[in-house]
């Protein structure tokens, strides 16, 4: 049986673009998660998500691992990008789309995906 910390590390390692949020991309359950996931969806790339409301162990443990107290949290290629304010600022200045598209291209290349 793996620990919550191991599960979090595995999720972050296996998903090049990952958002820990309240709710789902289709049904966010807080305004900050809604804004962040909208900005992420506007980049046009696939991403993974974890609904922390369904995972209270992750909700409790991730802030300690990430050294980031709030949700949502956007992770790209194993690195914490930040929460709502940072993601929205990056979205507005074009950095988010560039970061997400580059991560998706690298992930597709690693999988040998010719459709990239």
CATH number at residue 37: 3.40.30.10
Structural domain harbouring 61:
4-110
Which residues fall in the annotated binding site for glutathione? Answer: 22, 59, 71, 84-85
Cβ density class 53-86: b for 16+ within 10 Å, e for less = eebeebbebbeeebeeeebbbbbbbeebbbbbeb
Q: Does residue 115 lie in a domain region? A: no
Residue 1 — very low, low, confident or very high, per pLDDT cuts 50/70/90? low
Q: Does residue 87 lie in a domain region? A: yes
Q: Does residue 116 lie in a domain region? A: no
Answer whether residue 82 shows pLDDT above 50: yes
Of all residues in the chain, the percent with pLDDT exceeding 90 is 92
Q: Does residue 16 lie in a domain region? A: yes
Q: Does residue 19 lie in a domain region? A: yes
Q: Does residue 20 lie in a domain region? A: yes
Per-chain mean pLDDT for the chain: 94
Q: Does residue 43 lie in a domain region? A: yes
pLDDT at position 116 = 42
Could you tell me if residue 106 is left (phi over 0), alpha (psi between -120 and 50 degrees) or otherwise beta? alpha
Which residues fall in the annotated binding site for [2Fe-2S] cluster? Answer: 30
Answer whether residue 18 shows pLDDT above 60: yes
Q: Does residue 82 lie in a domain region? A: yes
Beta bridge partners of 19: 49, 74
- Does residue 51 contact residue 59 with C-beta atoms inside 8 Å? no
β 17-21/48-51 pair status: parallel
Count of structural domains within the chain: 1
Q: Which residue would you say has higher pLDDT here, 112 or 81?
A: 81
Which residues fall in the annotated binding site? Answer: 22, 30, 59, 71, 84-85
Answer whether residue 114 shows pLDDT above 80: no
pLDDT at position 14 = 96
d(Cα 27, Cα 49) in Å, to the nearest integer? 12
d(Cα 72, Cα 34) in Å, to the nearest integer? 9
């Amino acid at each position: 049986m793996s620990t919550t910390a191991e599960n979090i590390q595995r999720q972050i390692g296996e998903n090049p673009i990952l958002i820990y949020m309240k709710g789902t991309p289709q049904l966010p359950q807080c305004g900050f998660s809604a804004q962040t996931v909208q900005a992420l969806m506007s980049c046009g790339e696939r991403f993974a998500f974890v609904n922390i409301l369904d995972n209270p162990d992750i909700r409790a443990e991730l802030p300690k691992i990430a050294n980031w107290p709030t949700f949502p949290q956007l992770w790209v290629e194993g690195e914490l990008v930040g929460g709502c304010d940072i993601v929205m600022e990056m979205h507005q200045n074009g950095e988010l789309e560039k970061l997400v598209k580059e991560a998706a291209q690298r992930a597709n290349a690693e999988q040998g995906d010719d459709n990239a």
